[in-house]
Structure 1
Amino acid sequence: MSPYVVMRKRIAFLFLCVSAFLVVLVVRLAFVQLAQGAILSDKADESHYRGVPVAAKRGNIEDRNGDVLAMSVSTETVFAVPAQVRSSKRAEEIAHTLSGILEMQPEQVLEKITKRSALEYVKKRVTAEVAAQVRALELPGIGVTEDSVRYYPNGTLAAHIIGFAGIDNQGLEGIELTRDSALIGVPGAVLTEFAANGIPLPFANQMYVTPKNGNTVRLTIDKNIQAFAERELQKLMSGQGMNMNGQTPKSASILVMDPNTGEVLALASAPTYDPNYYQNYEQSTRRNIAIQNGYEPGSTFKIITLAAALEEKKISPNGGFFDPGGITILGKTVHCWKHGGHGSQTFTQVAENSCNPGFVEMGQRLGTDKFYQYLADFGFGKKTGIEMSGEAVGILANKKRATALDLATMSIGQTNNVTAIQLLTAVSAVANGGTLMKPQLVKEIVGPTGKVVESFEPQEVHRVIKEETSKTARQMLESVVTNGTGYRAFLPGYRVAGKTGTAQKVANGAYIQGEYVASFIAFAPADNPKLAILCVIDGVPFYGGSVAAPPVRGVLLDSLKYLNVEMDMKAPLTLGKPRLDMIIPPIKKAVKVPSVLGLTYSEADKALKKAGFKIMTEGSGSIVLDQIPHADSLVEAESSVLVYLGSEAGSPTTGNWWAIEEEVDVDIPALLQMPWRLPLSE
């Protein structure tokens, strides 16, 4: 091969190599410029631009009608650029000057303004006057930036739902916490060009990055219905509620729900707090007891027993039942609150009278397996999924160890532990036609421009009972209010269904004498429910029908009128019992029970009657060995005191177990005469 050909091949090869290199270079340059250009530019800016953050305003929290429950208002924050402060050689002077304006210790200010960081907040949320003074001083490395502070315009209203945000605008409790990501927004910044030594460049460029405000969270809560509920709680907590006679409970809650959708319209707890000043309140006041506390529901739970028995066709409204005054299960007797029993009655009358033996019979007919199936179907023993942190699951008796006696006590609302939201959700399923709905607190998320970002539809969990069963249960529960123990919730012209409940409190494995959890649950109108409501009052010496029904009545009346629910011309205008009218007599005042231990029956009878009580006996003999309630318990005047008789000191001669329920026969002077129950171990 000639040298000329070899030379040409070498030139061609070199040309190809150079061309390939140029192609790679062009591709790489195009990639850097087009694909990575913006990223590299930002990194370059970051290396010599430093920003002062501008806080985004946290989104509002509103009720279902758009009324603002929580909002952010503008304020200002004093900040320092430590590199500039150090470079000025005036750090101590600046610290001393700022300390007087900001009402801080000079040492504390000096530590902040000389800290090894790019930016340091000296004091957040200062007044406009303080901010103006700081600006006027033009101190090197010290500036003022826009900030925001959370404000709750209605004070304590719905505090346990809304929760509160901390000093850095982070959600700490309630909806502020659970919807923090939607509310928080994206902060902006004021960017200034700096040299490598941290000093601003002469004639430096500045850029303003606009903050993006957070979204609005619109709740299912109705501000007005919430206010009705909190008004009634305030009466209770001040001892001014109907029949309270100055007695104040330890805590109370009122929940209102649309039973057809599961939307929570009000959720009020007391004691309460003002989220504007949450630091000034004890932590216990911030506890959402309706969601986080469990309790034995007492007779309000009988609604579930009734619905299950109707669904399984174990009873019928007109079916007969004879109440001799008690029912014995495994050697233990569950007594009726009415001495001697109610005798022959229909199961509708069993519900009206809240007859314990009748409901125990329903439970026994269902059997343990079916009863537990309905506990699960109605949502007990698990979280409802309501959008609140710390929801309790409740406690159910272990099915494997449950006896017929456990079934008996569970049938009347004892033994098991439930939360208020669980019970209201379950009863709403009975009211709405038989479908269990998930409780809902958030209706929709709305963007800063007013456009709905996300909406939440009612969620059906599953069907529990048939529509026909629901209709029958509603009719029977309406009769409880019109003719039975729930008469204090009666509203002329409206069909109200409801149930009273009273449960003795448990402490250290034993029941506390003379202290109860009183409750009342209702829904209206009974034939087409628009509202379901539950009131739970903890730590009172009175009973559910007496103290919990009046607040329910007050909230129902105002809410039905507010929602423009028309009165039913076919609804009763008077109570079913001619002796009762709308002037409902208050219960008697609380009286201390005297000790009758060791006295003869005649001496005990005389002492109790003198103190204003009635006497009931168990056992045989002439000496009082024990008494329920115990001495010094506060109970309603003219209530009954159960004494155990024997011939000598020792244990009572019987082991009967007494359950609590309201008296309904108003011809008896003591409106709420009740026997008292002992722990099952007795």
Structure 2
Amino acid sequence: MSPFVVMRKRIAFLFLCATIFFGILVIRLGYVQLSQGADLRKKADDSHFRGVPVAPKRGNIEDRQGNVLAMSVSSETVYAIPAEVRQSGRAKEMAQTLAPLLGKSASEIEQHITKRTALEYIQKQIKPEVAAQIRALALPGIGTTEDSQRYYPFATLASHIIGFAGIDNQGLEGIELTRESELKGIAGSILQEFGANGIPLPQAEHQYLAPKQGNTVRLTIDKNIQLFAERELQKLMSGQGINMNGQVPKSASILAMDPSTGEILALASAPTFDPNRYQESDPSTRRNIAIQNGYEPGSTFKIITLAAALEEKKIKLQEHYFDKGSYTVLGKNVRCWKAGGHGDQTYMQVAENSCNPGFIEMGQRLGMDKFYKYLRDFGFGQKTGIEMSGEALGILANKKKATALDLATMSIGQTNNVTPIQLLTAVSAVANGGTLMKPQLVKEIVGPSGRVITPFEKNEIRRVISEDTSKLEREVLESVVTNGTGRRSFLPGYRVAGKTGTAQKVANGGYIQGEYVASFVAFAPADNPKLAMLAVIDGTPFYGGVVAAPVLQTVMLDSLRYLGIKPDAQAPLTPGKPMPGLEFPPIKKAATVPSVLGLPISEAQKVLTQAGFTGMTEGQGETVLDQIPHGDTQVEAGSNILLYLGADASAPTLAHWWEEGDEDIAAIYSLTGRVPIEISPLGQ
């Protein structure tokens, strides 16, 4: 082959290789330019553009009427660009200049402004005048940027619901936490071009990316109803509560709900705190007891027992039940609070009288399976799903281990542990026609433009009882208020349905002497409920009808008037004639029970009489072995004191339970299995 041909082949091969190389290069450049260009440009910008974040304003939190409960107000943040500070060589001088303005030590500030970071915050949320002074100094590498801080204009109002936001404007508790994604907004930034040495370039390009404000969260809470509730709680916590005689409860809560939709209109707890200064508050005051605390509901739970018995047609309201004064279960007697019992009565009167043996009979007719079915259907032993962190489940007795005696005590509101929100939700199902609703705190989400982004939707969980059963029980509970044991909650001209309850507090496996959880639940108007309310007062020496009913009566009356619900011309203006044996004595002042332990019965009776009490005896013997209430306990003056008699001091320790408001009974349990006993109500 000639040299010329060889040369031509070599040239052609080299040309082909060059063509392939340049082809690959063009393809690669095209791919980089078209596919990766945006990302590479961003990386390049990031390497020489530095952004100072501009915090967005959190969205407002409002009540259902648009009243602002939480808002963001403008403030400023001081920042440093450490590379520029170091380049200036004036770090110490700048630290000493800034120290008196920011209220920090010069060494602390110097440590911040010389850190090996691209951007360092020196202090957040400073006053505008301080920010202006710092800008006027024109210190190299030191600047200010727009910021905001959270402000709660009504201070403690609804603080357990709203929660609070931290110094970085992040939600920490309450709605501020659960709705963080809607409230926080999107941060903006101020971008400036820097050289490789970290110094701003002369005539550098600046970019401003505006922050996007957060959305407004509009609650179902009504500010005025919340105010009514918190006003009464404040009276209680200051010792000015009705019939409290200066006693201050440990805690209390009042809840209000629209039973037809599940909207929470008020959720007030005491003690409370100011979210503007949450750091100064005791963590215990921030506990949302209406959601996170459980208690034994006492007679308010009889509403559920009655609903189940009516729905399953285990009783008829005109059917007669004879109360002989006690109910025997597994060889144990549960005595009626009325000496000798109520005798012959209809089941309507059983409800009016809050007759424990009658309600125990309802539970026994239902049986264990049906009773637990309704416990679950009404939502007990499970979370309601309300939008609050830390909601408690409540505690139900283990069905597999429960006995007929457990069924008896559960039927009258003992043994099981419920939360206030669970009980109000369950009673609202009875009031609204039989449907269990999910309790809700957020009515709608509104964008910065004012457009509703997420509207309210009521959430029906399940039907629990029929509309006929609901209507029937509403009539029964209205009769309880008009003619029965709930008459201290009577509102002239309004049809109110309700039930009182009192539970002795449990601690360390036993009951605390002289301390009760007094409660009252009610809804109105009874024939078409618009408002369901529950008051729970923890740590009171008195009972549901004495303490909780008047508190709720005041809040409900103010709320009904505020909502524009006019009195019913057909509603009674005075309570009906009391059932025989249910006449109300006047409320008496607190009196201290003397201890008569170890005294002969004759001497013990004399001591009690001189102190203004009446002694009742149980057992055989001449010596007082135990007494309920115990010595030094404060109760209403003129109360009955139960004395246990015997010949020695080997009687077991007893615990007791006070039930049913003014007619609150004392069900006393021996820890060795002695019979549960009920004595007449205090003050009678």
State TM-score, norm by structure 2.
Answer: 0.94
Aligned amino acid, residue 678 of structure 1: Y
Give the stretch that moved more between structures: 168-177 or 329-338. Answer: 329-338
Is the CA contact (8 Å cut-off) linking 1:309 and 1:315 kept in structure 2? yes
Any idea what SS the aligned residue of 2:333 has? strand
1:297 aligns to what? 297
State whether structure 2 residue 87 is matched by structure 1 residue 87: yes
Is the CA contact (8 Å cut-off) linking 1:641 and 1:675 kept in structure 2? no
> CA 1:391–1:622 in 2, change beyond 3 Å: closer, same or farther?
same
Cα distance in structure 1, aligned partners of 2:657 and 2:362: 16
Cα distance in structure 2, aligned partners of 1:478 and 1:673: 19
Aligned amino acid, residue 135 of structure 1: R
Any idea what SS the aligned residue of 2:273 has? coil
* Gaps in structure 1 of 5+ consecutive residues: 664-670
Cα distance in structure 2, aligned partners of 1:112 and 1:352: 72
1:514 aligns to what? 514
Is the CA contact (8 Å cut-off) linking 2:654 and 2:670 kept in structure 1? no
Any idea what SS the aligned residue of 1:77 has? strand
2:470 aligns to what? 470
Question: CA shift at 1:142, angstroms?
Answer: 1.0
2:613 aligns to what? 613
Question: CA shift at 1:662, angstroms?
Answer: 3.7
> CA 1:637–1:92 in 2, change beyond 3 Å: closer, same or farther?
same
2:666 to 660, 669, 675: 675
Deviation by residue 1:183-236 (Cα, 9 ceiling, x = unmatched): 111111111111111111112111111011111111111111111111111111
Correspondences of 1:350-499 after superposition (within 5 Å): 350-499=350-499
Any idea what SS the aligned residue of 2:240 has? coil
Question: CA shift at 1:366, angstroms?
Answer: 0.6
1:661 aligns to what? 659
Aligned amino acid, residue 658 of structure 2: I
Aligned amino acid, residue 558 of structure 1: D
Cα distance in structure 2, aligned partners of 1:489 and 1:339: 25
> CA 1:7–1:565 in 2, change beyond 3 Å: closer, same or farther?
farther
Question: CA shift at 1:558, angstroms?
Answer: 1.3
Is the CA contact (8 Å cut-off) linking 1:296 and 1:417 kept in structure 2? yes
Cα distance in structure 2, aligned partners of 1:421 and 1:634: 30
State whether structure 2 residue 110 is matched by structure 1 residue 105: no
Cα distance in structure 1, aligned partners of 2:30 and 2:16: 21
Cα distance in structure 1, aligned partners of 2:8 and 2:304: 100
Any idea what SS the aligned residue of 1:44 has? helix
Aligned amino acid, residue 575 of structure 1: P
**Over aligned residues, Cα RMSD in angstroms?**
2.3
Cα distance in structure 2, aligned partners of 1:263 and 1:294: 21
Deviation by residue 1:522-576 (Cα, 9 ceiling, x = unmatched): 0111111111100000000100011101111111111111111122211111101
Cα distance in structure 1, aligned partners of 2:667 and 2:638: 14
Cα distance in structure 2, aligned partners of 1:172 and 1:672: 44
1:59 aligns to what? 59
**Structure 1 stretches of 4+ moved >6 Å:** 1-20, 655-658
Deviation by residue 1:158-179 (Cα, 9 ceiling, x = unmatched): 0000000001111110011111
Question: CA shift at 1:387, angstroms?
Answer: 0.6
Deviation by residue 1:458-491 (Cα, 9 ceiling, x = unmatched): 1111111111111111110111100111111111
Cα distance in structure 1, aligned partners of 2:520 and 2:75: 46
Deviation by residue 1:305-342 (Cα, 9 ceiling, x = unmatched): 00001011111111111112211212222222222211
2:545 aligns to what? 545
1:165 aligns to what? 165
Is the CA contact (8 Å cut-off) linking 2:658 and 2:664 kept in structure 1? no
> CA 1:584–1:238 in 2, change beyond 3 Å: closer, same or farther?
farther
Is the CA contact (8 Å cut-off) linking 1:317 and 1:346 kept in structure 2? yes
> CA 1:36–1:453 in 2, change beyond 3 Å: closer, same or farther?
farther
Give the stretch that moved more between structures: 411-420 or 113-122. Answer: 113-122
Q: How many residues align structurally?
A: 671
Question: CA shift at 1:678, angstroms?
Answer: 2.9
Question: CA shift at 1:10, angstroms?
Answer: 9.1
Give the stretch that moved more between structures: 553-562 or 296-305. Answer: 553-562
Cα distance in structure 2, aligned partners of 1:506 and 1:608: 27
Question: CA shift at 1:360, angstroms?
Answer: 0.8
> CA 1:20–1:437 in 2, change beyond 3 Å: closer, same or farther?
farther
Question: CA shift at 1:389, angstroms?
Answer: 0.3
> CA 1:356–1:37 in 2, change beyond 3 Å: closer, same or farther?
same
Cα distance in structure 2, aligned partners of 1:217 and 1:172: 16
Aligned amino acid, residue 666 of structure 2: P
Give the stretch that moved more between structures: 167-176 or 450-459. Answer: 450-459
Cα distance in structure 1, aligned partners of 2:146 and 2:92: 26
Aligned amino acid, residue 230 of structure 2: E
Deviation by residue 1:353-391 (Cα, 9 ceiling, x = unmatched): 111111111111111111111111111111111110000
Cα distance in structure 2, aligned partners of 1:547 and 1:384: 27
Aligned amino acid, residue 314 of structure 2: K
Aligned amino acid, residue 474 of structure 1: R
> CA 1:630–1:32 in 2, change beyond 3 Å: closer, same or farther?
same
Cα distance in structure 1, aligned partners of 2:601 and 2:175: 59
1:214 aligns to what? 214
Cα distance in structure 1, aligned partners of 2:451 and 2:634: 57
Is the CA contact (8 Å cut-off) linking 1:334 and 1:659 kept in structure 2? no
Deviation by residue 1:385-405 (Cα, 9 ceiling, x = unmatched): 111000000111111110011
1:527 aligns to what? 527
1:641 aligns to what? 641
Any idea what SS the aligned residue of 2:115 has? coil
Any idea what SS the aligned residue of 2:669 has? coil
Question: CA shift at 1:274, angstroms?
Answer: 0.5
Is the CA contact (8 Å cut-off) linking 1:498 and 1:523 kept in structure 2? yes
Is the CA contact (8 Å cut-off) linking 1:482 and 1:575 kept in structure 2? yes
Any idea what SS the aligned residue of 1:207 has? strand
* Gaps in structure 2 of 5+ consecutive residues: 674-684
Cα distance in structure 1, aligned partners of 2:184 and 2:27: 42
State whether structure 2 residue 116 is matched by structure 1 residue 116: yes
Any idea what SS the aligned residue of 2:545 has? helix
Is the CA contact (8 Å cut-off) linking 2:63 and 2:223 kept in structure 1? yes
Aligned amino acid, residue 478 of structure 1: E
1:182 aligns to what? 182
Correspondences of 1:244-283 after superposition (within 5 Å): 244-283=244-283
Is the CA contact (8 Å cut-off) linking 1:488 and 1:584 kept in structure 2? no
Deviation by residue 1:569-603 (Cα, 9 ceiling, x = unmatched): 111111012799xx998621221110011122222
Any idea what SS the aligned residue of 2:658 has? coil
Any idea what SS the aligned residue of 1:357 has? helix
Question: CA shift at 1:57, angstroms?
Answer: 0.6
* Percent of aligned positions that are identical: 72
Any idea what SS the aligned residue of 1:130 has? helix
